[in-house]
Structure 1
Amino acid sequence: MYSTHFKLDIKDIPAYVEAKLNFFGKTEGLEIKELSDGNINYVYKIVDPATNRSLILKQADICLRSSGRPLDVKRSEIEASMLQIQHKLAPEMIPEVYLYDQAMSVTFMEDVSEFKNFRYEMMERKVFPSFHKQINSYFAKTALGTTDLVLNRAEKKANVSKFTNVELCDISEDLVFTEPFNDYKGRNILTKGNEAYVQEHIYGNTALVSEAMKLRYNFMNNAQALIHGDLHSGSIFINHTGIKVLDPEFAFYGPIGYDIGNVIAHLVMPAMVCQVTDSESEAKDNFINWIASTVPAILFGFEREFKKSYLEMVQEDVAKNEIFVDWYTRQIVADAKGYAGLEIIRRVIGDTKVKELETIADHDQRIAVERKLIDLASSLILQRDVEGQDLHSLLSALNG
């Protein structure tokens, strides 16, 4: 039994847990709750009320939940392997994997319920003054440690092959880099009243499209480090003591700046929604001021944190050349700005929206938020190599 894949139902889980993992001992009386909040996986929290011990079971199915379209379960193996690698590099930020069952595409992992979903916390206008330090520490520890500046070059090349993530990279290459600029599959969803604005400022903006294609080329060909690949605010869990980074099933070897840019985009979007839709209040001011200070702190703090880790972890003397280190780090920061812009655009006009935008009830406010985001995203993409100018645009946009 359990030698071939089938989708677990809640009623199947106690026997399956008992067969696979000596975590609870006897499994009578386990409390099981589904936590799934996505389209491609099934996630359950399992608790023994007698001891209060708990864990998470995550299973990848062979089909998308929404459409039934087949999807390779290799993503599950990639996710488990990524978590195991990152847990060694940053154990305080990554849930521990207790067991991975390849046949069933199931990962048993640490329950991190004391941390809350970062997206929903921001939607409640909560602020986390230490977030920039925590996320920069995550980037410096997990990204650099998987490059061929630190790893043996042969080991890194083997990892590139192991983490070749064809189907999920193809999803990103379409939804993030291609469809927002020509809608060749007809899947973009434009807010009524913004059609002409999108045509002028995105589809018909040759300079923007060309820069987006440069960033796509970099995404597809720059096997710089093992990256998360889908690091939005829903993949980060947070409290006032730290963060946990989850769900790296899109992981592959790509540009470090892609993950950083995704984090920035998912800070900017709720801040812009707040700026346009919220009534004047201390909570609104605090939230916007926090985002306006956090984004530059991530970018500039990344440079400092990354260079510090670089000098500690990189052993080759020739790679420690100051000019090279500065160039290497600046390229990552420029990439991050560009990828932030692309993530914003695809969430505004693509078919995969974010809850922050979807919850705007007033049509005129929705139009205003989307246009501000498109303008800001364009600035981030077009001026990513001009130090400071894009951040000036960000601060101006958030200040109304």
Structure 2
Amino acid sequence: MTLQERPLGDPGSSPYRILREGDLRDYLARLPEVAARLGGAPNAWSITEVGDGNLNLVFIVKGSRGGIAVKQALPYVRLVGESWPLPLSRAHYEHLALTHQARLAPGLVPTVVHHDEALALTAMELLEPHIIMRKGLIAGTIYPRFVEDITTFIARTLFFTSDLAVSAAEKKEGIAAFAGNHALCKITEDLIFTDPYRQAEQNRWTSPWLDHIAASFREDFDAHVAISRLKLRFMASPESLIHGDLHTGSIMVTETETRVIDPEFAFYGPMGFDIGAVLANLIMAYFASAGHERVAGERQGVESWLLETVERVWSETARKFLDLWRSEARGDGYPKALFAGAAGETRLQVERRHYMERLFADTVGFGAAKIIRRILGLAHNIDFEWIEDGRLRALCEARSLRLARTMLVDTASFATIRDVTKRARELRDWQPDFSAT
């Protein structure tokens, strides 16, 4: 019986236990490096549980000298409870991903201070005054540094774990190292690629206004084909080490710094999944903006910045990725010996363009899938959820779904990222028919 399979409530079965405030204080006090980082007497440390995600416990611990963030995996999905068990091994994969990301994109992930495999616990630097980006966007904050940082993170983590940068053997070792994270992949496969398109007990949406739209997705076989193709790409295309849950709730920011957090869904998958997730969440922030206005039109500047950011995240990621391909291509993909001389380089340039066109199509499709799941599935975004007026919330969500459905089933109609933002602008004031509700 594995650690994850042992029954809850049996303290003798394994060293794992869920830490509460007193337990955590005693545990950290026995770690000299952590205690020194915090400073002062352990009984004077402040410990606050701040986890507002779907899966884990998160504590902020502060002493006289400094602070740390402590994350502990629970043996079940926190959002649902013990009826949905989940392996503690996800903490191992998160720590492994943070280690890789820190090497590939230095300064863009939190520094790990301590990791305990048995307790499924990781202590990291406390990011202050950073806030969760999603909350900042709801407040209407603009982040000038975000595009530069997130595109560096995406381009470098994807490129340097791909066949373009590493040998086939190294790539396969990487795939094997993360292959055991299949329980988290299963969550994605169900909640993103399957459940929103069928009757699923845990689905929810803004009812009654979206009832007919939710029903239409369950009956839309064009959408079912498109999402199934994307699901197959997700399951069968280990292109790079991906974050796996790269949304604005997994990014902490100030106006001058960006940190990517929470890579527990990491595995080797399709590159477009990460890029599409970022774009999808920016698009949802754009459509949700109308629901956070106090005066009509007051958020035009923020909304313009959001769509400009959508465009720049794609264009800068593509530019940086291609620059790396030209300067750092040492992998077994596209061997240099096959593209020698000026003629070979010219032909390779054409192939790079085709490669990026395929990646963009993946990005558009995966972005659509992320939007749909956040409105019709289990886990929702506070971008919409914090809009108190249910009808207004549904209006913002319906606009997002209309764009997402087109992105999903007619991906080819979006030849460039500006086609996406143009369509978003056109839908900004679209009025769905809620008369039947």
Report TM bin, short chain: over 0.9
Match of 1:210 among 218, 221, 225: 225
Residue 91 to residue 362, structure 1, CA distance change in 2 (3 Å): same
Residue 331 to residue 113, structure 1, CA distance change in 2 (3 Å): same
C-alpha distance after superposition, 1:215-260 (max 9, x if no partner): 1110111101111111111100011112000000011111111111
Q: Partner residue of 2:329? A: 314
Trace 1:130-141 onto structure 2 (pairs within 5 A). Answer: 130-141=145-156
Return the index of the structure with the highest Cα Rg: 2
* Partner Cα distance (1:280, 1:31) in 2: 40
Mean Cα deviation higher: 382-391 or 145-154: 382-391
* Partner Cα distance (2:110, 2:185) in 1: 24
1:302 matched to 2:329? The reply is no
Extract unaligned runs of 5+ from structure 2: 1-10, 340-344, 431-437
Match of 2:185 among 149, 169, 191: 169
* Partner Cα distance (2:272, 2:18) in 1: 36
Q: Partner residue of 1:393? A: 423
Trace 1:1-400 onto structure 2 (pairs within 5 A). Answer: 4-25=15-36, 27-28=41-42, 29-49=44-64, 51=65, 53-65=66-78, 66-68=80-82, 69-164=84-179, 165-183=181-199, 185-190=200-205, 191-200=207-216, 202-275=217-290, 278-280=293-295, 283-315=298-330, 316-317=335-336, 318=338, 321-386=348-413, 387-388=415-416, 389-398=419-428
Counterpart secondary structure, 1:108: strand
Deviation at 1:279, TM superposition (A): 4.3
Q: Percent identity?
A: 28
Counterpart secondary structure, 1:24: helix
Does the Cα contact within 8 Å between 2:291 and 2:387 map onto a contact in 1?
Answer: no
Extract unaligned runs of 5+ from structure 1: none
Does the Cα contact within 8 Å between 2:155 and 2:321 map onto a contact in 1?
Answer: yes
Counterpart secondary structure, 1:22: helix
So what's the TM-score if we normalise by structure 1? 0.93
* Partner Cα distance (1:326, 1:123) in 2: 36
Counterpart secondary structure, 1:304: helix
Q: Match of 2:71, as an amino acid? A: K
CA RMSD of aligned residues (A): 2.1
Does the Cα contact within 8 Å between 1:376 and 1:394 map onto a contact in 2?
Answer: yes
* Partner Cα distance (1:312, 1:128) in 2: 30
* Partner Cα distance (1:398, 1:127) in 2: 19
Counterpart secondary structure, 1:57: strand
Give the length in aligned residue pairs.
Answer: 396
Does the Cα contact within 8 Å between 2:69 and 2:126 map onto a contact in 1?
Answer: yes
C-alpha distance after superposition, 1:295-336 (max 9, x if no partner): 111122222121112222212424872223222222222111
Residue 287 to residue 22, structure 1, CA distance change in 2 (3 Å): same
* Partner Cα distance (1:44, 1:176) in 2: 28
Q: Partner residue of 2:5? A: none
* Partner Cα distance (1:280, 1:247) in 2: 35
So what's the TM-score if we normalise by structure 2? 0.85
